[in-house]
Structure 1
C-alpha cells in the first residue's frame, strides 16, 4: 500500500539538505550533504543516499553510507567536511560523484558502478598539465559542484560569492572530457555575483551559491541560491554554456514572495540558506529544497514540491506545503505528526534562523527532537509560546467533526484552530499542564473541501506539540 508523502520527505530524524534528485530506473535517488542534529557546523556527517519508487514518493529507503569523508586522500584524518555534492552518469555508464571539501578549493571526484553503492575516489578535476581546477593563477575557488553529462562532455558548474566580495565574479561552467576529470574548456561565467549584476537581468537575485543544472523541454535550467539565500532561482538558456537569462524564483524556504494566500512580504517559516534542484518523476516535475530546524542553520531537512514548467519555459513559484510529494492534499482524517508543519511563526517576526553559528532565542518555536543524532524517533515542535502558530497545508476534508492534539509542557491555555492564517477561529482545544505527552480533543467542525490547518497557542507558559488527529466520527 502506498504511503502518504509528507514534507520533509525523509524520516524526521534524518538531515539531508542540498538535495540533488535523479531518476535511475524505476527509483528516484537523492544525493546531498549530511547535517548532524545539534551540530556546530554544516555537513558534519558522511554522504548517505535515500531512494523511493517513482510511483510511491512516501516510501523512502535508506541506501546506506555511499562515501565517508576520510575516503578522499587529502582528508584521511576526516578533519574536513563534505559539502554539497552532485552525481552524473559518465559516457562509460558509471556514476560519478563530484564534491568539494570545506578546507579545499578544488573539485574531487568519486565513482561507482551503481547509483547507491560505495563510491571510490578517482581523482581531482584538473587541466591537461595536471594543475587542479581552482589552483591555477586565474582560477576562482571551487564550491558546490553541479554536473550535467551529454555525450562525451560533462558540464561542471561551481562558485561561491559572498555579497560584497569583488574577487568572486559568479557561477562558472567548466567543460570536462570523457575521462570526467580533465578540463577541455576553461571556466566561463554564467550567472553574476552581486558585485557584477548591473545590467544583466539578475539584479536583486544575483548568484550566491548552490549551482545546479537540468535539461527540460530542450532548455537548460540553471538553478541556484541567490544573495537572498532563502530562495532557489532559475535561469534558462538554449545551451549549457549560456547565455542564461534570469527567470524568477521557484521556491523560498520561508514562503517569501508568495501572495496566493498571504501578503508576499510576509514570511511564514524561519528561512536560511537553500539548495536543491528540479527533477521529472513519473511525468511530473518537482523542486527539491531544504528547510531549517532546531532553531539553527546546521540541522537542515529536505523537502519537495510539485512544480509546473509552462510552454514558454517559465516555472511559477510554488508554496511550501506539508504534502509536496503526495500528488495532492493529505487525507482529512487520521493522525499527523507536528513536524510536517510548513508554517511556523510567532508574534515576533523573523525572516531567518540567523547567521551561521547563531541560534534562535526563546521567543521562537522550533522543530526539534529528544533523541541524539542518527537515532530513530519522532520530532516535534518545541517552545510554542503564546501567539505561536503551526500551520499545515493541505488536507482534503470531508466530515471532520473533532480534532485531537498531543502536547506536553508547562503551559495552560488552548489551541485556536483556523483554516487560513488570518481566518476566523473554527474551534478551540483546551490544553493542560503536563510533563509527559497527553492527548486533548474537542469538537471542531472543519468545512468540507481542501483546507490548510493552523494551530495558534493562546494562554501562558510554553508547550511542545507532537501531533494531531482529524476525526470524522
Structure 2
C-alpha cells in the first residue's frame, strides 16, 4: 500500500488501490519496502524477504516500475546464496557523497563473531550506482551486545536473538544508526534504539565506504554519558545476563536471570494509571548471579567531595539478598570498582520501595564508565523483585 499526503502528519490517501477490487492494492513494492529519491529526481524502490529486489519506480504511480525497466532480483545475495551479503529483510537506501549505501538486516554466518547465526544485526553494502553492483561493507549494529569473556568465548549480554530494522542518518555533523532491539521473552516487543557511528567515503569510481560498528548502549543521544544525577528507567539497561547464557529459540527467548519486561498502555494518556511511568518496562527475573548494566554514566559530573548516594526503586519479592553497585566492570578481578551494596531483607512486597545507599570510591572512577548491578540472593532460584528506576543523588 502506498499513501500520499500534503502534510507529513497526514491525513493520508491511498493512491494504489486496485481498479476493480477495493480490498487490494497494485504495485511492485513487496516486503519491508523503502523508497529513495536521487539527486536527479529519479525514484528507486527496494524490498524483499530473504531475496533482495530493487527497481526504478514510476513517479506518476509511485507504486509500479518505470515503463521499460525491470526489477533487479538478488540485488545483493541472500543467506541461502554464496557471498557475505546474506540479505534477510529491512531494505533502506542512503546516498552519501557519490556512493549509494544499502542498509539491511543481515543473517550472520554460523560461528561468525563467535556466536550462533542470527538476523539480529544491521549491515551495509555500497555501490557507485543505485541498483548496484554492490560491495559488502560490514556490520553496523549487533543488537545482542556481544562481549568477549576472559576465556576467549563470546556471549550475548542482552537479548540473544530476534529481528531488527533501521537505517543511518547524519544529524548536526554526527552519524547515527537507528534501529530497534527486542525486549521480553518473545519476538513481539520492540524498543527504539540509537547509537553514534562514523562514516568515511572515498569518492570516485570504485571508492570505498567504511562505517564503524555502533555499540549497544543505554545512552541514546546522551553520547557523553548518562547524567549522573538523573533517575532512569531500569528498562534502558544495555546489559542483562543471568547465571546461564540466555538462549533464542524462535519465537521465544529463555533467560536464567534478568531481562526487560515490556509494558503497554492504550488509550487516553490523561486517564493512565498514576504509576504508569514508574512501572514501565521493569527489569525482572533478577535471580542470584544476574547482572544488569548501563553503558555509560558520566562520572566526571561527580562532586569533588564524593558525597553521593545511589537510589534503586524496586518491588521486592521478600527474599534476602543484595545488590552490589559496580563501576567499570561487574567483576573486581577485571577492574570492577565496588561503589556500594544494597542489602535486601525480608520486606513488604505489596508496594514499590526506594532503597538508598551511600557511594564510596567515586574518586577511582573517571569519565564515562559503565555501571553494573550484581545480584546475590539467598534463594538462588527466586528473583529479588522487579526493578523500576536507578540513579544517583547528591547527599543533602
Tell me the TM-score normalized by structure 2. 0.79
Distance in 2 between the 1:262 and 1:286 partners? Answer: 32
CA RMSD of aligned residues (A): 2.6
User: Do structure 1's residue 442 and structure 2's residue 350 form an aligned pair?
Assistant: no
Q: Structure 1, unaligned stretches of length 5 or more? A: 1-107, 135-140, 162-169
User: Do structure 1's residue 265 and structure 2's residue 154 form an aligned pair?
Assistant: yes
1:404 aligned residue (303, 311, 314): 311
Distance in 2 between the 1:175 and 1:261 partners? Answer: 50
- Tell me the matched-pair count: 339
User: Do structure 1's residue 220 and structure 2's residue 113 form an aligned pair?
Assistant: no
User: Do structure 1's residue 175 and structure 2's residue 64 form an aligned pair?
Assistant: no
Show the 5 A alignment for 1:230-309.
230-256=120-146, 265-270=154-159, 271-309=161-199
Distance in 1 between the 2:366 and 2:337 partners? Answer: 16
User: Do structure 1's residue 344 and structure 2's residue 240 form an aligned pair?
Assistant: yes
CA contact (8 A) 1:267 1:351 kept: no
Match of 1:315 in 2: 211
Give the drift of 1:263: 6.3
Q: Deviations over 1:404-437 (max 9, x none)?
A: 2111132321111222243435121112333111
Distance in 2 between the 1:429 and 1:301 partners? Answer: 29
CA contact (8 A) 1:391 1:454 kept: yes
Match of 2:371 in 1: 453
Distance in 2 between the 1:305 and 1:260 partners? Answer: 23
User: Do structure 1's residue 160 and structure 2's residue 42 form an aligned pair?
Assistant: no
Show the 5 A alignment for 1:301-450.
301-312=191-202, 313-352=209-248, 354-356=249-251, 358=252, 360-361=253-254, 363-368=256-261, 372-373=265-266, 377-378=276-277, 379=280, 380-397=282-299, 398-399=302-303, 401-410=308-317, 411-419=319-327, 420-423=329-332, 424-426=336-338, 427-432=340-345, 433-435=347-349, 436-445=351-360, 446=362, 447-450=365-368
Match of 2:390 in 1: 468
Distance in 2 between the 1:372 and 1:262 partners? Answer: 43
Distance in 1 between the 2:369 and 2:244 partners? Answer: 26
Distance in 2 between the 1:172 and 1:109 partners? Answer: 17
Secondary structure at the residue paired with 1:330? coil
Structure with higher RCO (Cα < 8 A, 6+ apart): 1
CA contact (8 A) 2:27 2:63 kept: no
Tell me the TM-score normalized by structure 1. 0.66
Distance in 1 between the 2:78 and 2:316 partners? Answer: 47
Distance in 1 between the 2:354 and 2:309 partners? Answer: 13
Distance in 2 between the 1:362 and 1:343 partners? Answer: 13
Secondary structure at the residue paired with 1:339? helix
CA contact (8 A) 1:347 1:387 kept: yes
Q: Deviations over 1:151-199 (max 9, x none)?
A: 44211111111xxxxxxxx211011122122312211132111222x2x
258-267 or 384-393, which deviates more: 258-267
Match of 2:10 in 1: 117
